[in-house]
Amino acid sequence: MTPNNIFKIENLEKKYGERKVVDIKNIYVNNGDFFVIVGPSGAGKSTFLRLLKYLEEPTNGDIYFEGKKLSNPLDVNIQRSISMVFQRPEFLKRSVFENVEFPLWIRGKKDNEKVEKVLGQVDIGNLIREKTSSLSGGELQRLALARAMVVDPKVLLLDEPTANLDPYNVELIEKIVLNLNKAGKTIVMVTHNVFQAKRLASSAGLLLNGKLVEVGSADTFFNTPKDARVKDFLEGRMVY
């Protein structure tokens, strides 16, 4: 095992009843990667991310985080090293400020300046005293990002972070996560949006019916994919 691995996945399987929803042989996510998994809706992308965060236990196989095998219940320090932005983020019935302060509070490290700084980074510094119920979809998504970023995690997991957002918010969020990655943050993102994947990924894979059909550097994956299904998907010819 190279110490460079953040995640190492071995024969990962998740079944719901008899249905295998995730079935991934061997992949690595390296330190500093922006790893993006694309795939149609229902491919198992969200389930895959939930497995990485150990919100669900794999039916078979292992996940290693920095060389440590994940098991249930997940070690709280590992839990806190991995921040996840959910496909449909939910918030506390409190202010914007308190929602971002919350993960710091958990760690016993409340820090007003940090909260203000990160809200500025996602460009909702002006909404700091608002209740979350008064925010728009794009603002909420950025709040979810702020809440994940504020604790400076080792990895960020992003589940369709711009689904259903307007182009302004999409661009803003992409800029923020790209900057984070440039600053060294490891990111694992899943999306059905090929164009977004292309704009962001340093390495990428296609998930179809729970199976990763091709994984590689962004350059290879997007420009010279070997698998016909990847070509079809990238060119929008895949029927789903």
Ligand X SMILES: Nc1ncnc2c1ncn2[C@@H]1O[C@H](COP(=O)(O)OP(=O)(O)O)[C@@H](O)[C@H]1O
**Closest among 223, 158, 219 to 193, alpha carbons compared:** 158
Order of all β-strands in the sheet with 60-65: 68-69, 60-65, 5-16, 19-30, 211-217, 203-208, 34-38, 186-191, 155-159, 82-85
Minimal distance in Å, beta carbon 160 to ligand X?
A: 7
Residue 43 near which of Mg ion, ligand X, other proteins, none (CB within 5-8 Å, type-dependent): ligand X
Structure tokens at 142: 């950025």
Minimal distance in Å, beta carbon 46 to Mg ion?
A: 3
209 binds Mg ion (CB under 5 A): no
Applying the rule CB under 8 A, the residues between 115 and 134 that interact with other proteins are: none
142 binds ligand X (CB under 6 A): no
Residue 93 near which of Mg ion, ligand X, other proteins, none (CB within 5-8 Å, type-dependent): other proteins
**Among 15, 20, 80, 231, contact with other proteins (rule: CB under 8 A):** 80
Minimal distance in Å, beta carbon 83 to other proteins?
A: 8
Site size toward other proteins (CB under 8 A) is 21
* Amino acid present at 193: N
**Among 46, 59, 193, 209, contact with Mg ion (rule: CB under 5 A):** 46
Structure tokens at 43: 């491919």
Rounded to whole angstroms, the Cα distance separating 205 from 8 reads 15
Applying the rule CB under 6 A, the residues between 14 and 33 that interact with ligand X are: 16, 21
Strand, coil or helix: 142? helix
* Amino acid present at 70: L
86 binds other proteins (CB under 8 A): yes
**Closest among 216, 154, 205 to 184, alpha carbons compared:** 154
**Among 8, 12, 39, 158, contact with ligand X (rule: CB under 6 A):** 39
What would the x/- binding string for other proteins be over residues 37 to 66, using CB under 8 A?
A: ----------------x-x-----------
The answer to whether 65 and 79 have CB atoms below 8 angstroms apart is: no
- Residue 35: exposure state from Cβ atoms within 10 A (0-12, 13-18, ≥19): buried
Rounded to whole angstroms, the Cα distance separating 103 from 145 reads 12
Kindly list the residues in this chain that would bind ligand X in the complex (CB under 6 A).
16, 21, 39, 41-47
Q: Name the site residues for Mg ion (rule: CB under 5 A).
A: 45-46, 87
